[in-house]
Amino acid sequence: MSAEGRAWRFFMKGKLIRKVEVEGFRGVKSATLADTAGINILVGKSGKSSILEAIYVALFPAQGLRYVVERHRLIDVGALFYNRSGMARIRLAFS
């Protein structure tokens, strides 16, 4: 494990994501998940993968963006944003 990975594991030990806010990322116009400390599954018609990818991007920006681009074979970076707006906001709060 890299030094960055060890530092991250130390920082996150015992912490849970308490709140997730996603705006303008991929297929999500706006979504807020509050009191998420007990959530371990997402159910719904659409947006589940986009929310999980947003969390990955927020936690590990370079790796997360690389994953999203490769997974969806994106050629145009505009496809990362809802309606190609060019702006996205991802916020995580921890307990």
What pLDDT is recorded for position 44?
A: 84
Alpha carbons 82 and 67: distance in angstroms, whole number:
18
What pLDDT is recorded for position 6?
A: 67
Joined tokens for residue 11 = 């920082």
* Distance from the Cα of residue 92 to its chain's centroid: 9
Please state the three-class secondary structure of the chain as a single string: CCHHHHHHHHHHCCCCEEEEEEEEECCEEEEEEECHHHCCCCCCCCCHHHHHHHHHHHHCHHHHHHHHHHHCCCCCHHHHEHHHCCCCEEEEEEC
What pLDDT is recorded for position 15?
A: 79
CB-CB neighbours of 60 under 10 Å? 15
pLDDT tens digits along 73-87 = 988 888 888 888 888
What pLDDT is recorded for position 95?
A: 82
What pLDDT is recorded for position 13?
A: 72
For the chain, 95 residues long, give each residue's pLDDT as a single digit of tens: 666 666 666 666 777 888 999 999 998 999 999 887 777 788 888 889 999 999 999 988 888 899 999 999 988 888 888 888 888 999 999 88
